[in-house]
């Protein structure tokens, strides 16, 4: 495993991090979830990402139990706050009330006294940003989180939050956006702004919901048991990639992966890691074998000719519109 600084901070994270958005507490049984976490640890992954909303808070609980007994100082545990975690009007958003109550719930479920990174899962248009950042500052100053991050924020929002964080003397060091060969909306605005401010990207879905693994074929139904057939595993988020045009171009990447001595999944993960502003790429898994395959992308260097060839294949189906950086209608 290779390691990188998270933005311009001193915190080191594994190039590949393990996330449990649609697996723990939902798609896979607990024994399988524990096996995947053990596989990640065995592969040298030290960075684990979750959120209070995943599987209705169950994902945090599963991850906390899976990591129990590990040396806490040797791990980087990330979680998030924003999406609803209860039926009340204040069980959502980035108000001081919700943030303060959410961090305590996350720490309890994760079985830890602190998280290394606490992230705003989306931007809250209904709460003053000053209120949100002051709550985050109190959490950092109380020792419940070491660093602060955001997820799917626009460049202007990151800049404003970073200025407030600096005034409050807390380290806002990361953004967690979707990023892959097919989804590059952060490249024109978010990445230049983040690089200027010392904010690193922790990217999710580097395989475009599994499409870049090459297992979905044009003109054929999705494989049985795949994400595209499972309502619990984010079926709606993969739908826009399942067109014959996209899938045909993805298959054209296979000879390039073979040429590089990589699996399709490894090529996709290695591709996002070529961006110097990317600190870590999040992988998920329902089986330990997937972890073992994906981690082989760590430390891989793709040459300029290969990167150019990839661009030529996927450019017609690549999304680059910065207006799609975030949308309130997106996941949890």
* Active-site amino acid positions: 54
Three-state SS for 49?
strand
**What CA–CA distance (Å, rounded) separates 15 from 300?**
11
Sign of CA dihedral 211, 217, 221, 225: negative
Contact 66, 23 (CB under 8 A): no
Q: Which residues contact 257 (CB under 8 A, 6 or more apart)?
A: 214, 263, 264, 266, 267
CB atoms near residue 131 (< 10 Å): 15
Three-state SS for 61?
helix
Main-chain dihedrals φ then ψ at residue 18, nearest 5 degrees: -105, 125
**What CA–CA distance (Å, rounded) separates 296 from 188?**
29
């Amino acid at each position: 495993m290779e390691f990188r600084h998270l933005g311009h901070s001193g915190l080191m994270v594994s190039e590949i991090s393990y996330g449990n958005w649609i697996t723990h507490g939902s798609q896979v049984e607990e024994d399988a979830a524990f096996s995947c976490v053990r596989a990640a640890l065995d592969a040298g992954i030290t960075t684990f990402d979750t959120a209070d909303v995943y599987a209705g808070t169950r994902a945090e609980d599963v991850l906390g139990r899976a990591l129990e007994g590990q040396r806490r100082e040797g791990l980087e545990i990330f979680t998030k706050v924003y999406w609803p975690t209860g039926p009340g009007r204040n069980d959502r958003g980035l108000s001081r009330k919700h943030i303060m109550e959410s961090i305590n719930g996350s720490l309890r479920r994760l079985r830890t006294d602190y998280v290394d990174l606490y992230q705003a899962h989306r931007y809250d248009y209904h709460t003053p940003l000053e209120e949100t950042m002051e709550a985050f500052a109190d959490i950092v100053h109380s020792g419940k989180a070491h660093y602060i991050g955001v997820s799917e924020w626009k460049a202007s929002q990151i800049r404003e939050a970073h200025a407030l964080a600096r005034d409050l003397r807390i380290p806002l060091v990361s953004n967690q956006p979707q990023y892959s060969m097919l989804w590059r909306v952060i490249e024109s605005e978010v990445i230049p702004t983040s690089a200027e401010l010392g904010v690193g990207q922790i990217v999710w879905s580097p395989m475009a919901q599994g499409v870049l693994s090459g297992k979905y074929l044009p003109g054929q139904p999705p494989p049985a048991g795949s994400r595209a057939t499972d309502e619990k595993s984010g079926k709606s988020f993969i739908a826009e990639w399942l067109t014959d045009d996209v899938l045909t171009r993805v298959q054209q990447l296979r000879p390039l992966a073979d040429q590089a001595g990589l699996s399709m999944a490894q090529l996709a993960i290695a591709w996002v890691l070529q961006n110097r502003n990317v600190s870590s790429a999040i992988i998920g898994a329902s089986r330990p074998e997937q972890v073992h395959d994906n981690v082989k992308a760590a430390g891989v260097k793709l040459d300029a000719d290969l990167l150019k060839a990839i661009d030529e294949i996927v450019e017609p189906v690549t999304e680059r519109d910065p207006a799609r950086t975030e949308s309130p209608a997106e996941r949890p």
